[in-house]
A and B are shown apart, each in its own frame.
Chain A
Amino acid sequence: MRLQYPTNIKIILVPCTGKIDVLHILHAFEKGADGVYAVGCMEGDCHYNSGNLRARKRVEQAQKILNTIGIEGERAQMYNLSSAEGPRFAQFAVEMDERIRKLGPNPIKLAQKKAA
């Protein structure tokens, strides 16, 4: 469908969102990512039964941890769609881009700049 979405989004392939670890999400923020989101199958339609439900929980957990260390938890998000919903995928990308732009850069980056 070649739907356009922002170029600042890069995809990392996992077999199931259930493979995504809280550590992976936090690691990305530590390295300077401004936002991280997971896109899984529709709830109830997970190819591996329940991986996407676990992913949602882990994203929520990552959000809590981020909040406690002064990074806005909403920089991490979980989305669901079916494989036939290209336009929704693009919509999520735009949504995420807008959300992050409102929040500005990852505070870790700013802190480090200040320190330097």
Chain B
Amino acid sequence: MCSEVKSVEGESGNFEVSLVNHPRYIDPVKCTACGECARHCPVTAVNQYNMKMDDRRATYIEYAQAVPLAFAIDTDVCIGCGLCENICLANAIQYDDKERETTIKVGSVVMSVGSRGFDPSGLDYLGYGKYPNVVTSEEFERILSASGPYFGHLMRPLDREEPKSIAWLQCVGSRDINRCGNGYCSSVCCMYAVKESMIAKEHAHGDLDCAIFNMDIRTFGKDYEKYYLRARDKEQVRFVKARVHTITEIAETGDLVLEYADETGVMKKETFNMVVLSIGLQVQPNVAELAKRLDVKLDKYNFVNNKSLAPATTSRPGIYACGVLQGPKDIPGSVTEAGAAACLAGVDLVESRGTEISKVEIPEEIDVIGQDPRLGVFVCNCGINIGGIVDVPAVKDYAATLPYVVYTDENLFTCSQDTQDKIKEKIIEHKLNRVIVASCSPKTHAQMFMETLEACGLNKYLFEMANIRNQNSWIHSKDPEAATKKAKDLVRMAVSRAVTLHPLHEKKIPVVSKALVIGGGVAGMNAALSLADQGFPVVLVEKNEKLGGMANRLTVTIEGEDVKTYLDGLIQRVTSHPQIQVLNQSLIVGFSGFQGNFTTEVLVGPGMYERKINHGVVILATGATEYRPKEFLYEESKNVVTQLELAKRLQEKGALDLNRVVMIQCVGSRNEENPNCSRICCQSAIKNAIHIKKLQPDAQIFILYRDIRTYGSLEDYYTEARKLGVIFVRYESEDPPGVESSEEGVIVTFKDHILDRSLRVSADLLVLSAGMVAEDTEELASIVKLARNSEGYFMEAHVKLRPVDMATEGVFVCGTAHSPSLLGESISQALAAASRATTFLCRPFLTLSAVTARVDTDLCASCLICVRSCPYSVPKINEEGLSEIDIALCHGCGVCAAECPAKAIELNWYEDVQIMSKVDALLEGVM
């Protein structure tokens, strides 16, 4: 942390990295993040995190969730008064901290330096920096945040009044070659503008008019279109097709007048209380310098954007890049690409895997069964965080009076290493068999204390915490007496629960170090290869005779890479790999087991003999296919084709016979049957249109579209197509083009908004941009018990944070089985899925949480309520007719335990008696 990479010498597998470690003046190891230094610091500095809209101190932590959670001193503003050094009880302040240089040896390097928002100060017509009520989207994000400068209240900066109308201006610093040189689309701004408008409406008291001024709305991600429609149709967010050319302020009110030309060219003026500029993503100049130092090539916009079919790579072998540095993308895309980079880096490191692990020795567990509870209570002062408010000695003395408590102590910092050692001593000395720490949040510290218990042979579940800081001294700082009383209550509750605790054991299960990949398309093959290259055996199941899937029908990528050459190479590598077994014409017919230990039954073609495969993980790569249009005379007229058919035709027959071509976008997408955007069709149309123009420059091409969604650097091709003379005409979904057959070809009728009249165009060829449809996986989903969305795509465990994990542990998804995606994006997902799978396969054992549900079969009435209520379908009625919960599958939420009418199910560590004991202790003496 606080470090910069100076240079990376050497080559893949053997790099020497020179780092400059900047001083932070507070030792992050000693700092307990108590915040006393900041509370006493007399210096006010601008808070960059809240976009300069409020202040912080010179001793600061960037934000509450920062890792490591440790303060630093901003020496640009520090006056060196010495107060923080005097106040810090942890002795963490070190004014003499110096800049150091260190070198480390690594096998691979991943660049994930991200981007910053575009600075719109240079665009004078927007008035940013001049008019206070014009803010950037990043600033507005902070305004809406509960931890932001206005504590989440919707207010405008000028007068802190709640705005009644807000306008968002899209594409500020994106899709703009004239004013800022950023020709690309930033990919994320449409979605965040829609989100901000929705949240602003939620925060507003009364009606709020939200208008989003845009050229195209680009909600192309999985299920994004549904969100856009909800904003438009349900929340009445207005979407205006216009680029605002001037903003002026009404001096008396601070309101802003927006001037723009509407779609028919009529000049309009509209007034808003506040304007949000949807600023694009941009690689910072210092990152460009870093890339130069590392000898990594960047494109003209300073993105790595290496090769479309080699995602996450850079021009220098062994150095990988992910996230926005690679090209503009949203969080799911960045997390996926991070997985891809980790996978590639991991493959390079495979020989040295596991060589630098230090093992923790855990002594044999002390048997406490049958012993009377002997409780030790450790009360923390947390510097003065607790001790400054709560009378800690009184709490300690009170604890000593509680039942079964045999030892009590107070500590300055219970989390410090020396206190840990002291706790260990006391556990042994006083034969403690339950430990209670009254300090801060178990979220941040329970794990550490539990390890301390384990280190002296005490089962780690014989531990309980009372949060007397975050839930007490911090929030009742104005009433020390009440805080002390509450601390005693919380300690009494903790003691009461501790008495009911008993040892729990985490089950270790062996992992079958083999993977099953379902689907032999580009995604499936890439996932299989990445695992096989790391030495893990893979069984690749493909339902067709031939590998390759949808890619067999593709010709070239928009960047010009030949798909057939790529695919042939890939198939060759897969089929000749000693660790990969390909089962063609095969069908999954049975599935059982849990993470690390699955068994799948496969019927293997062509003889359809049955095989049982044991494996530790599953990767789903079942893919998608092109929608078969039912509309626009497809299959009725030979002059109506899909984009895939056109691409093939161009390759085989060229385009010399084409004089006029019309393309229609969103065929089979963004309609009632399939509300989602198919993501790839805009670029397919533009790719083919450019191809025709190159083969036959005189050909006239019309692309009839609703929104052009050439996100990221694909925007350059849209610009190129327009330069080549391709004519783009927007149509409304309510007024789709009309198509009729004619002798020469087809006649297409559509409305031109600029001319405000209907046009009739006779074309040689009508090309339908048919959307994507998920492969039929209904049977597979029911056999493997996998969730799919209403369009048949598999549903990931978490849209943003776990984009390639399925909810069932050990099952992953990639490629178009997840959602429509380009070839490169599918490969990225495949590598990410392989990377996630590796985290299972590289371990001999999996340790399962002990916090799982268990059934008391004597009480079970076989009523099926647990079976129905479990969000993961884990409980089963076994052969004896009783409920059975597989702990390897249980997520530990406790829903079944709460629902069970016979109270036959208990959730470990949260047993009813353990929860009730706290209630009883709290309300002791009330009645």
Q: Do they bind each other?
A: yes
Known A-B contacts A7-B485, A10-B486, A10-B922; A109 and B927 likewise in contact (beta carbons under 8 Å): yes
Q: Are A33 and B923 in contact (CB under 8 A)?
A: yes
Q: Write the A69-108 contact mask toward B (1 if CB under 8 angstroms, else 0).
A: 0000000000000001111101000000000000000001
CA distance A20 to B892 in the complex (A): 13
Q: Are A31 and B898 in contact (CB under 8 A)?
A: no
Which residues from chain A contact B893 at a C-beta distance below 8 Å? Answer: 15-16, 18-19, 47-48, 51
Closest Cβ of chain A to B299, distance in Å, is 35
Q: Are A2 and B899 in contact (CB under 8 A)?
A: no
Q: Are B152 and A18 in contact (CB under 8 A)?
A: no
Which residues from chain A contact B146 at a C-beta distance below 8 Å? Answer: 84-88
- Asked if B477 is an interface residue, CB under 8 A from chain A, the answer is yes
* A47 closest partner in B (C-beta): B893
Within 8 A of A (CB), among B871-927: 871-872, 891-895, 897-899, 907, 910, 912, 915-916, 918-920, 922-923, 926-927
Q: Are A18 and B895 in contact (CB under 8 A)?
A: yes
Interface centre among B474, B490, B920, B923 (most CB of A within 10 A): B923
Q: Are B871 and A108 in contact (CB under 8 A)?
A: no
Which residues from chain A contact B479 at a C-beta distance below 8 Å? Answer: 7
Which residues from chain B contact A108 at a C-beta distance below 8 Å? Answer: 927
Known A-B contacts A51-B871, A51-B895; A87 and B152 likewise in contact (beta carbons under 8 Å): yes
Q: Write the B466-497 contact mask toward A (1 if CB under 8 angstroms, else 0).
A: 01000110111111001101100110010000
Q: Write the A38-58 contact mask toward B (1 if CB under 8 angstroms, else 0).
A: 000000000111110010001
- Asked if B851 is an interface residue, CB under 8 A from chain A, the answer is yes
Closest Cβ of chain B to A16, distance in Å, is 4
Q: Are A109 and B871 in contact (CB under 8 A)?
A: no
Which of these, B471, B910, B920, contacts A14 with CB under 8 Å? Answer: B910
Closest Cβ of chain A to B143, distance in Å, is 14
Which residues from chain A contact B482 at a C-beta distance below 8 Å? Answer: 7
Closest Cβ of chain A to B477, distance in Å, is 7
Q: Are A19 and B897 in contact (CB under 8 A)?
A: yes
Which residues from chain B contact A23 at a C-beta distance below 8 Å? Answer: 912
Q: Are B915 and A31 in contact (CB under 8 A)?
A: no
The number of chain A residues touching the other chain, given as a range, is 35 or more
Q: Are A20 and B467 in contact (CB under 8 A)?
A: no
Secondary structure at the A interface, as helix, strand, loop or mixed, is loop
* A108 closest partner in B (C-beta): B927
Q: Are A32 and B907 in contact (CB under 8 A)?
A: no
Which residues from chain A contact B64 at a C-beta distance below 8 Å? Answer: 1
- Asked if B869 is an interface residue, CB under 8 A from chain A, the answer is yes
Q: Are A33 and B915 in contact (CB under 8 A)?
A: no
Q: Are B895 and A19 in contact (CB under 8 A)?
A: yes
Q: Are A19 and B910 in contact (CB under 8 A)?
A: yes
- Asked if B86 is an interface residue, CB under 8 A from chain A, the answer is no
Q: Are A15 and B910 in contact (CB under 8 A)?
A: yes
* A28 closest partner in B (C-beta): B919
Which of these, A3, A19, A32, contacts B927 with CB under 8 Å? Answer: A32
* B924 closest partner in A (C-beta): A31
Q: Are A4 and B477 in contact (CB under 8 A)?
A: yes
Which residues from chain B contact A3 at a C-beta distance below 8 Å? Answer: 475
Which residues from chain B contact A54 at a C-beta distance below 8 Å? Answer: 869, 895, 898-899
Which residues from chain A contact B472 at a C-beta distance below 8 Å? Answer: 7
Q: Are B474 and A27 in contact (CB under 8 A)?
A: no
CA distance A16 to B899 in the complex (A): 13
- Asked if B117 is an interface residue, CB under 8 A from chain A, the answer is no
- Asked if A112 is an interface residue, CB under 8 A from chain B, the answer is yes
Q: Are B475 and A12 in contact (CB under 8 A)?
A: no
Q: Are A84 and B851 in contact (CB under 8 A)?
A: no
Which residues from chain A contact B147 at a C-beta distance below 8 Å? Answer: 1, 84, 86
CA distance A14 to B915 in the complex (A): 8
Within 8 A of A (CB), among B640-666: none
- Asked if A37 is an interface residue, CB under 8 A from chain B, the answer is no
Which residues from chain B contact A24 at a C-beta distance below 8 Å? Answer: 912, 915-916, 919
CA distance A7 to B481 in the complex (A): 10
Q: Are A15 and B894 in contact (CB under 8 A)?
A: yes
Closest Cβ of chain A to B326, distance in Å, is 28
Which residues from chain B contact A84 at a C-beta distance below 8 Å? Answer: 145-147
Closest Cβ of chain A to B69, distance in Å, is 14
Closest Cβ of chain A to B749, distance in Å, is 43
* A12 closest partner in B (C-beta): B918
Q: Are A49 and B919 in contact (CB under 8 A)?
A: no
- Asked if B503 is an interface residue, CB under 8 A from chain A, the answer is no
Q: Are B474 and A2 in contact (CB under 8 A)?
A: yes
- Asked if B593 is an interface residue, CB under 8 A from chain A, the answer is no
Closest Cβ of chain B to A77, distance in Å, is 17
Closest Cβ of chain B to A26, distance in Å, is 10
Which residues from chain A contact B907 at a C-beta distance below 8 Å? Answer: 15, 19
Closest Cβ of chain B to A21, distance in Å, is 4
Q: List 29 A-B contacts (CB under 8 A).
A: A2-B475, A3-B475, A4-B475, A4-B476, A4-B478, A7-B479, A10-B493, A11-B467, A12-B918, A15-B851, A15-B892, A15-B907, A15-B910, A18-B893, A19-B897, A19-B910, A20-B898, A21-B912, A24-B912, A32-B926, A48-B893, A48-B895, A49-B807, A51-B893, A54-B869, A54-B898, A54-B899, A88-B152, A108-B927
Residues of A within 8 A of B (CB): 1-5, 7, 10-16, 18-21, 23-24, 27-28, 31-33, 47-51, 54, 58, 84-88, 90, 108-109, 112
Ordered nearest first, which 4 A-B pairs have the shortest CB separation?
A19-B894, A32-B926, A48-B893, A49-B871
A19-B898, A87-B152 given. 11 additional CB < 8 A pairs? A2-B477, A7-B479, A7-B486, A12-B922, A21-B897, A32-B927, A33-B919, A49-B807, A49-B871, A58-B898, A109-B927
